[in-house]
Structure 1
Amino acid sequence: MVRGKAAGRWKGAGRVGGVAACLLLSGFAPRQAVPALEQPAETAASAGELTPSSRRAYAEVLKLRLGSARELLRPELTSTPAAPAPLLVANCVDFADLLLSQDAARYEAIETAQEARLSALDRAPASAMRDYARAEITLHLGLCQLLFKHLVMGGYHLRSGYRQMQDVVKHYPAFLPARKTLGVCQFAIGSLPEGYHWLLSLLGLTANSSEGLKNLALAAAQPHDFQTESQIYLSLIREGYYKKPEEALRLVERLHAQQPDNLLFSYLLISINKRQHHGEAALAAYRARPTGPGYVPVPYLRHMAADLLLYKGDYADSERENLAFLREYRGVHYRKDAAFKLYLAAWLGREPAAAVARYRAQINQPGPTDVEEDNYAQHYYHEAVALNPILTRARLLTDGGYNRQALATLRSFRATPATLWRDRIEEPYRRARAFQGLGRLDSAWFYFERTQTVAGPKAPYYFAPQAALQQGYLALEAGKKAQARLYFEKALHYPWHEYKNSTDAKATLALRELK
């Protein structure tokens, strides 16, 4: 097997988001009485479960107490040869550490350790856990390489890990952890918009997102060491891509109630509430999160808190949290977004002009823009057009779920002959999102439609394509499939905008479901 340094590298653009760091950790769920799959000759009990020490260590990984996890693994890792289960969990410790910190100084040592674990697994006897651990670590290696811009080797290892995981499912069809990971891979590959199909062809990868969901659902429904992880993945996909947030909220609220000392579960509770515009609930979860020296630092939590505080108008506190994020964070992504949010807090908070200008200038500091939030910030800087304070405040209020306040703010908006085209498009879109948040769907539909009328078919802003996407969801919920298809297709046909990748991915998945 060709790996990392032995095969050389080519550095280019690439990333793995901070959220992925948490979602790729596994968890545990209560054992439920469910129908069992037909087992192969090698049973799950004999070679498909974590060892007791590895299970305890993995519970610590899940809580993001990585130092404790390393200590629990030490005895098993020093035995000769080390078993597959502790090697897998040790890799999860390093993988979580690297993705959460995004610290380039740790990359070389962790990559070397990953390759050593793969070599050890190559020498181990074949078993479901051995083969699963090897495929999982290969995928971890590929993701880490992509994060630190080693695209050729990262792509190679992702392709290799995916195919290995297919083989594990083929040879051990009852081994549910492999179905969990394969399902995630299948969904990720199958949901990519058409603009990425050339890359999939180059890598020789094909997958069906529906098949991925079936594998994930199977892994989520039956007991195994990674059942909770399967449930989290499945619920987050349904929340993010299929507009079904209730399942994710119920699951994470239950997990958090069961383990209030679990930082990952707190992170997920904050994140889901934030995405669902439950600003107060997200802030409450942030303030109640477990803290202490035993937990690995998660600077991105501060960035999320800064957003939540910005939404409700606590500009000084938002500024403080984002400055702390930038001090503590070692990665390169979300820095432009943080600078943009610092600029907004200073501008809306009426700080001195010098402070406002300083934060705005930070947006243009060297750094990648492959994260959509950073891309939006950089696009704003280069566009060099002043934001409208009324529309900006309304946007922040709706992002936090303060919809009545947003509508009250929008009452003071008055278009004049000098009003920018962008602002003329954004105004009805902001009204639509506020009415949507209040459940006033007829009013929301009217203003979504008006957004597209004002924008026309070629406006280079995200308001019209997002309006079409939301109308597709509304039509689907009302059982009007033909109308939904029309609006999802309309969302895809708009030209470049700041959120085109995610908008197109959601519209594409929705259209596939309609078929």
Structure 2
Amino acid sequence: MKKKVSWLTYLFLLFISFNSWGSDLSFSSQEAKAYHHILSLRFDAATPYLTKKTAGVVYLENLKESLKIIFSEDSDLFNDFKDDFEDRYEYIDDLSTSSAYKKFYLAELRLHSAFVHLKMGAEWDAAWDFRKAYKLIEENQDEHPDFLPNYKSLGMLHIMLGSVPSKYQWILHLLGMNGTVEEGIEEINKLAQSGNTFQKEAEAIRCLLKSYLLNEQKEAIEEFKKVYASSSDNLLFGYLYMSLLMKASHGQQALNLYHKLTNLSDGYYTLNILHYSAGEVYLQKGNYKKAQQELKTFIEHNTGKNLLKDSWYKLFLSYWLSGDSSSAKEAFDKAKNTGSTVAEADKHADKSLKKDNYPNQTIMKIRLSTDGGFYERAKQLLNQKAELSTDEEKTEYTYRKARLYHKTGDLKKAIDLYKETITMAGSQPWYYAPNSCLQLGYIYIIKNNEAEAKKYFEKVLEYNNYEYKTSITNKAKASLNELED
């Protein structure tokens, strides 16, 4: 009985500690419901809980509008957001309170604004918003060091600052901003392991970091599966889970989830990007008609510029690989003259569009099948004779074989082929060699050979001026830091 009383007392003290940070501005029960609906992309369902003007409601309105713009890139919504932002910010800033939530909300509003400006191509405005958010959350951390929600903003900022290429770090120091990826991950972990309102959000962020930055694909999938299982009505989490499945080459599982998400009941925001993702997986699977259907739907309903060039390029691939040369040429020409080159996918498409020749069909099919996890199809394609006419095609063919053997667990063959790729590529500005070094590092970690792993991660940093450099370099640096801990 004594043990039971002690346990209940502990829970009570925990509750008191979570509410001793200035609960005058923390979410009310109504605002907590609105937060759940907004994070689930059920914006209309949140509206009845946002009628009374409070700091929490102002924060949630800003979050709702930010999500709409990030997914739609609608210029009219963006203009409305800019008009409303200063009023929202001023309302919270004018509140006379010592609550830790005040500067937390202000920092979060700045972060919302930064991501919105970044999405809409206003990079300088985004940079100043990030700086203001950084200053606010640093001050709040000094004033309220035990306030857990701080770690949500701090973690995001430190990860972004730590991901900036080394040659630009002096600018950050000049602006009084610094942070490392390791700091950010630790801070997100603290919040993800708490019982705080923002715990689920932090858990989702942690899974994305594990997948996209730390190459912990399996762990990320397993963790996010649990996050999504407890929030299966959350369309945003469903989309993020689908993205993680695609990243980990679980294409068929991603398609299964896609069909589940598109069959959710009415009341959800129309998430057009789901069609883009489904189109990509169908392309990987070799179901070209379905790929065309999904990509055309995305293009038709797209209200922004990002991913348009890549969508048309993928549409071109679906025609080219299915033997429809006439439609392929039309889509190729459209891709060249459409959209922007801000998003990584669009940059890659633009580079491919500038080449003199269409891609090698066999290599492209192997690549797509491997990326989607359709390994039997990829192996069958490898058994077919490939016409390789250039040094780049020969190098990429070897690299694609390495990726397939790596993903299917034949590490000995993968190691040999990655090393062969590095030799064949030499100093050419292709990503095949640096990414082969990165993958060799990952393999040697699995083999508990830290010296070889470190050697190849360091070798990644020797390469310059190639596609995906920022992403590959950040992953190598993160792995080196993990080895040094």
TM-score range with shorter-chain normalisation? over 0.9
Provide closer, same or farther for how the CA distance between residues 208 and 48 of structure 1 changes in structure 2, counting only shifts above 3 A. Answer: farther
2:107 and 2:153 in contact (8 A); partners too: no
Query: How far is the alpha carbon of 1:385 from its aligned partner?
Result: 2.4
5 Å matches for 1:374-453?
374-414=346-386, 419-453=389-423
Query: How far is the alpha carbon of 1:143 from its aligned partner?
Result: 2.1
2:40 and 2:236 in contact (8 A); partners too: yes
How many pairs were matched up?
A: 473
1:436 and 1:444 in contact (8 A); partners too: yes
2:483 matched to which residue of 1? 514
Higher relative contact order (CA 8 A, sep 6+): 1
Q: Does residue 1:358 correspond to 2:330, yes or no?
A: yes
For 1:428, the aligned partner's letter is: T
1:159 matched to which residue of 2? 131
Query: How far is the alpha carbon of 1:254 from its aligned partner?
Result: 2.0
Q: Does residue 1:328 correspond to 2:328, yes or no?
A: no
Structure 1 consecutive aligned stretches of length 4 or more whose deviation exceeds 3 Å = 32-40, 201-204, 290-293, 413-416
2:221 and 2:244 in contact (8 A); partners too: yes
Distance 2:338 2:289 in 1: 26
Alignment match of 1:315 (pick from 288, 311, 317): 288
2:154 and 2:187 in contact (8 A); partners too: yes
Provide closer, same or farther for how the CA distance between residues 36 and 214 of structure 1 changes in structure 2, counting only shifts above 3 A. Answer: farther
Report % sequence identity: 28
1:24 matched to which residue of 2? none
- Report the secondary structure of 1:383's partner residue: coil
For 1:55, the aligned partner's letter is: A
Distance 2:171 2:351 in 1: 25
Distance 2:368 2:123 in 1: 36
Query: How far is the alpha carbon of 1:107 from its aligned partner?
Result: 0.7
1:104 matched to which residue of 2? 75
2:403 and 2:414 in contact (8 A); partners too: yes
For 2:184, the aligned partner's letter is: G
Stretches of structure 2 that go unaligned for 5 or more consecutive residues are: 1-9
1:286 and 1:305 in contact (8 A); partners too: yes
- Comparing 142-151 with 505-514, greater Cα deviation is found at 142-151
Distance 1:208 1:225 in 2: 25
Distance 2:249 2:71 in 1: 24
Q: Does residue 1:61 correspond to 2:32, yes or no?
A: no
TM-score, structure 2 as length reference? 0.93
TM-score, structure 1 as length reference? 0.88
- Report the secondary structure of 1:242's partner residue: coil
For 1:138, the aligned partner's letter is: R
For 1:112, the aligned partner's letter is: D
- Report the secondary structure of 1:224's partner residue: coil
- Report the secondary structure of 2:379's partner residue: helix
Q: Does residue 1:490 correspond to 2:459, yes or no?
A: yes
Alignment match of 1:207 (pick from 179, 204, 214): 179
Query: How far is the alpha carbon of 1:459 from its aligned partner?
Result: 1.4
Query: How far is the alpha carbon of 1:292 from its aligned partner?
Result: 4.5
List per-residue Cα deviations over 1:262-297 (Å, max 9, x = no partner).
Answer: 211211221111000001100000001143541111
1:391 and 1:430 in contact (8 A); partners too: yes
- Report the secondary structure of 2:213's partner residue: helix
Alignment match of 2:29 (pick from 52, 59, 71): 52
1:9 matched to which residue of 2? none
Distance 1:424 1:35 in 2: 65
For 2:48, the aligned partner's letter is: E
2:3 matched to which residue of 1? none
- Report the secondary structure of 2:41's partner residue: coil
Stretches of structure 1 that go unaligned for 5 or more consecutive residues are: 1-31, 78-82
Q: Does residue 1:87 correspond to 2:58, yes or no?
A: yes
2:168 matched to which residue of 1? 196
Q: Does residue 1:282 correspond to 2:254, yes or no?
A: yes
Q: Does residue 1:73 correspond to 2:50, yes or no?
A: yes
Distance 1:484 1:34 in 2: 48
Query: How far is the alpha carbon of 1:415 from its aligned partner?
Result: 5.8
Distance 1:381 1:198 in 2: 35
List per-residue Cα deviations over 1:119-171 (Å, max 9, x = no partner).
Answer: 00111123111221111001211222232233333211110111101111221
5 Å matches for 1:8-27?
none
Query: How far is the alpha carbon of 1:473 from its aligned partner?
Result: 0.9
Distance 2:342 2:158 in 1: 23
1:69 and 1:93 in contact (8 A); partners too: no
1:19 matched to which residue of 2? none
1:339 matched to which residue of 2? 312
Alignment match of 1:474 (pick from 440, 443, 466): 443
Q: Does residue 1:121 correspond to 2:95, yes or no?
A: no
Provide closer, same or farther for how the CA distance between residues 38 and 507 of structure 1 changes in structure 2, counting only shifts above 3 A. Answer: farther
Query: How far is the alpha carbon of 1:220 from its aligned partner?
Result: 1.0
1:232 and 1:248 in contact (8 A); partners too: no
For 2:407, the aligned partner's letter is: G
